[in-house]
Amino acid sequence: MSDNIKKVVEDKPKTPESFVKAYQSLCEAYGYRIVVNPAWITRDDGSWSTVLQTSVGKLLAKEQS
């Protein structure tokens, strides 16, 4: 783990904001993010349900001006 990420992860106290900051740092360091997509599945009774499928997606490169 890089020093930059380690510093963010070790921030105290653990809050939703510190989690977002640590997650963003990991995404930038590795170039990937968690992606959530809705999908339909059939149920035993013939009806449909919506589920959320997660995957890992590559971050788009930042445009340089």
DSSP-H helix ranges across 10-63: 16-30
Domain of 13, in residue numbers: 3-58
Q: Give the count of domains, the chain.
A: 1
Q: Would you say residue 64 lies in a domain? A: no
Distances (CA, A) of 13 to 23, 42, 53: 16, 43, 31
pLDDT value of position 13: 80
pTM score above 0.75: no
pLDDT value of position 65: 56
Q: Would you say residue 46 lies in a domain? A: yes
Q: Would you say residue 30 lies in a domain? A: yes
Greater confidence (11 vs 28) lies with 28
Q: Would you say residue 42 lies in a domain? A: yes
Q: Would you say residue 43 lies in a domain? A: yes
pLDDT value of position 23: 93
Q: Could you report the per-residue pLDDT of 13-62, keeping only the tens digit for each?
A: 889 998 899 999 999 999 999 999 999 999 999 999 999 999 999 998 77
Q: Would you say residue 18 lies in a domain? A: yes
The two tokens of residue 37 are 């997509």
